[in-house]
Structure 1
Amino acid sequence: MSEGLNRDYQVCEEIGRGRFGTVSRCFSPESGDFFACKSIDKRLLTDSIDRECIEKEAKIMQLVSGNPNVVQIFDVYEDDSYLHMVIELCESSDLYDRISKRTFSETEAAAVMSPLMEAIAHCHRLGVSHRDIKPDNILFDVRNRLKLADFGSADLFHDGRSMNGIVGTPYYVAPEVISGRDYGEKVDVWSAGVILYTMLAGIPPFYGESATEIFEAVLRANLRFPTRIFHSVSPMAKDLLRRMICKDVSKRFSAEQVLSHPWITNGGEARSMTDLT
């Protein structure tokens, strides 16, 4: 354990575990507050790509910190064996836990989508694409405020620089990522659209028995709204879904355009499609 970390914080019980390390609750005697400490065991990083992602994560979190809907990073400590990031503690259930229990009304879904898209738009303005938007990475603090977390797959795209590499999670990944070509930040909008669909329908729009089958369904991008599931979902919500889960990247909405869509600005309240004109 880093000397600096032990000097400034009391590291308590483990509350999570990942491929390269653990997340523990920690306490600051100086402030009297609890935080989360993400500890990466650098000895488990067997290739240069993993090392680069871990180093980039701390830098990107420092860049995007400051937005109320992004998990904040407070301190970074590093020694020969570990990288420790002291971040905001979010102890409420994550969105995955909430989605797995029930479907959402349109107003409930909009209450999630609005701050999520604010967080994504904030990152995009800074030239950061999250690249792994999924319910597991959408946390809530004790006041039930949404916090976008886990920037381990994030990358920079500013100055005309595109991104590449297959990252993300099968159900939520955009088709251009799977296809292996260069892509831009709108991959995050696709993923957020899949989350919106899943909140309203209780099932993802593209699925299969294996990762390969899911990828094939995503590449076909045949977006459907089964009547038995979507009979009570408004035309305006479906319109937004079509604009977010759009295979043609040039026609897919940006994060800012999503925030300006009437379904978002009306808080998911049903309005007529004439509001879109």
Structure 2
Amino acid sequence: MAGPGWGPPRLDGFILTERLGSGTYATVYKAYAKKDTREVVAIKCVSKKSLNKASVENLLTEIEILKGIRHRHIVQLKDFQEVTCLASSIPAGFCLRRWLGSSCSTSALQFLHERNISHLDLKPQNILLSSLEKPHLKLADFGFAQHMSPWDEKHVLRGSPLYMAPEMVCQRQYDARVDLWSVGVILYEALFGQPPFASRSFSELEEKIRSNRVIELPLRPALSQDCRDLLQRLLERDPSRRISFQDFFAHPWVDLEHMPSGESLAQATALVVQAVKKDQEGDAAAALSLYCKALDFFVPALHYEVDTQRKEAIKAKVGQYVSRAEELKAIVSSSNRALLRQGTSARDLLREMARDKPRLLAALEVASAAVAKEDEAGGEQDALALYQHGLGELLLLLAGEAPSPYTPKPLAALPSPRALPLSAAEPPGRRRELLHTEVQNLMARAEYLKEQVKMRESHWEAETLDKEGLSESVRSSCTLQ
């Protein structure tokens, strides 16, 4: 093998060019296949003289794993030669630093997890992109990967200290959940510019890793509720309390549902058909919601499509749907303003009738605060939390249940007011009728706001549409005041 000061080594079937990177045991080169296709690949050249027994085992495991897997977002092993070099279909690009393709990387992890494979060295340098213009992500470097069931435990340190889970460093006993910790560190670094245990020395790093202090998230930049929840659950020091793989793959912020795939266009089309039907029936709110949900699938469909003519045809259709969504937005916004004024009048009357009910009065004040917060710029998350609090109290009052400490609940988990027993603490009468109506109105407002927040937080879709020249119109259509 060539030494550090020499040029690229020679390898049958490939032309090696510049060096892409190097580590303790290997150097990676950009190369071209000598076949007619001139395919661009990455060649990982391993110096056999520098390998100890454990390193040889790692290399053999890496080859075994890569030979047996094929996934759009995982590097593909193209060839292996005894010299010893691995040729992989890595795009000639750069490591992930500022671009976070959560759905793509999570899809690759899900693929590995289903096959009981742990990467054990997840870090930005091992997540590769083809380019900024048309980014395609691939998970690379399986030098530390192992076949591990979720209940398997290992004792050998693997990976990079900055991204290594505390249980691996402190106890040297760990399982597949260490990959989830590494994902959390990568996400933290992408959001805040440095990993949570950034240190000036290894001793300082080790001290931070061994500490029992909870990792606190910086206040800036502001994070969505879903993003903050995921990050905190990934960066749980105790692996038994860390988010599970199943919950991670199903987490709303990860949003695997809208990952670009061959089914994206069919899903978008099915939603558009429903939207058109609701539009023809005169249900503007339902039609607008369905159009916006369809756009959530059209974005990955555009990203997935490679045929230029088909992509232009999709973009033309999307433009039509955006125009109709704009018209529906004006109709729905006008209707919502009228309902809000009507709801305010009823709420004021109910407040007057609740002067002898301090708990009811307090719950109504929370509801009013939610409505006010909804009108503030950037106040959507606070408004949703207030809606949940106020609705929880009002529903308990209707049902006649004892008050309990406030714990935020998903809106879907709250019971429908129609399902509450009539033999509730609030007796039949005008006040109960107004309270019942108020609960219905608040639930409708909260669900509506929740849907709009979810659309607004679809930053990946917005970034993709920026490249397609459609982002401003789509964002305008799918964000209601």
Give TM-score scaled by structure 2 length. 0.49
Letter matched to residue 71 of structure 2? N
- The percent identity for this pair of structures is 30
In 1, Cα distance between equivalents of 2:185 and 2:12: 43
Residues 202-213 of structure 1 mapped to structure 2, 5 A cutoff: 202-213=193-204
Letter matched to residue 89 of structure 2? E
Q: Which position in structure 2 is the counterpart of 1:133?
A: 122
Structure-2 change in CA distance of 1:140 and 1:161 (3 Å): same
Structure-2 change in CA distance of 1:161 and 1:41 (3 Å): same
Residues 3-14 of structure 1 mapped to structure 2, 5 A cutoff: 6-14=11-19
Letter matched to residue 44 of structure 2? K
Provide, for residues 235-268 of structure 1, a one-character-per-residue CA deviation record: whole Å limited to 9, x for no partner.
221111111111221221233322211122287x
Contact in 2 for aligned 1:171/1:207 (Cα 8 Å): yes
1:264 is paired with a residue whose SS is: coil
2:41 is paired with a residue whose SS is: strand
In 2, Cα distance between equivalents of 1:194 and 1:275: 30
Contact in 2 for aligned 1:114/1:259 (Cα 8 Å): no
Structure-2 change in CA distance of 1:263 and 1:13 (3 Å): closer
Q: Which position in structure 2 is the counterpart of 1:242?
A: 232
Over aligned residue pairs, what C-alpha RMSD do you find?
Answer: 2.6
2:154 is paired with a residue whose SS is: coil
Is residue 60 from structure 1 mapped to residue 65 from structure 2 by the alignment? yes
Contact in 2 for aligned 1:25/1:89 (Cα 8 Å): no
Letter matched to residue 88 of structure 1? S
In 1, Cα distance between equivalents of 2:199 and 2:169: 15
| Cα drift, residue 136 of structure 1 | 0.8
In 2, Cα distance between equivalents of 1:166 and 1:159: 17
1:199 is paired with a residue whose SS is: helix
Is residue 222 from structure 1 mapped to residue 229 from structure 2 by the alignment? no
Q: Which position in structure 2 is the counterpart of 1:92?
A: 93
Q: Which position in structure 2 is the counterpart of 1:29?
A: 34
Q: Which position in structure 2 is the counterpart of 1:76?
A: 80
Q: Which position in structure 2 is the counterpart of 1:148?
A: 139
Structure-2 change in CA distance of 1:264 and 1:89 (3 Å): closer
Q: Which position in structure 2 is the counterpart of 1:178?
A: 169
Provide, for residues 16-38 of structure 1, a one-character-per-residue CA deviation record: whole Å limited to 9, x for no partner.
32222322222223233121111
In 2, Cα distance between equivalents of 1:90 and 1:199: 21
* Structure 1: gaps of 5 or more residues: 99-107
In 2, Cα distance between equivalents of 1:243 and 1:159: 18
Q: Whose RCO is larger (CA < 8 A, sep 6+)?
A: 1
* Structure 2: gaps of 5 or more residues: 2-9, 259-295, 297-379, 386-409, 414-481
Provide, for residues 133-168 of structure 1, a one-character-per-residue CA deviation record: whole Å limited to 9, x for no partner.
111111012441111111111122138532221122
Equivalenced residue count is 254
Which of the pair is proportionally richer in helix?
2
Contact in 1 for aligned 2:21/2:27 (Cα 8 Å): yes
In 2, Cα distance between equivalents of 1:204 and 1:33: 35
Letter matched to residue 35 of structure 1? V
Q: Which position in structure 2 is the counterpart of 1:105?
A: none
In 2, Cα distance between equivalents of 1:118 and 1:186: 16
In 2, Cα distance between equivalents of 1:221 and 1:62: 41
Of 195, 198, 222, which residue of structure 1 is paired with 2:189?
Answer: 198
Contact in 2 for aligned 1:175/1:221 (Cα 8 Å): no
Contact in 2 for aligned 1:195/1:204 (Cα 8 Å): yes
Q: Which position in structure 1 is the counterpart of 2:442?
A: none
Mark the structure with the bigger radius of gyration.
2
Contact in 2 for aligned 1:121/1:256 (Cα 8 Å): no
Letter matched to residue 55 of structure 1? L
Provide, for residues 101-120 of structure 1, a one-character-per-residue CA deviation record: whole Å limited to 9, x for no partner.
xxxxxxx64xx222112111
Contact in 2 for aligned 1:69/1:147 (Cα 8 Å): yes
Contact in 2 for aligned 1:164/1:181 (Cα 8 Å): yes
Letter matched to residue 94 of structure 1? C
Structure 1 residues 170-179 or 214-223, which shifts more?
A: 214-223
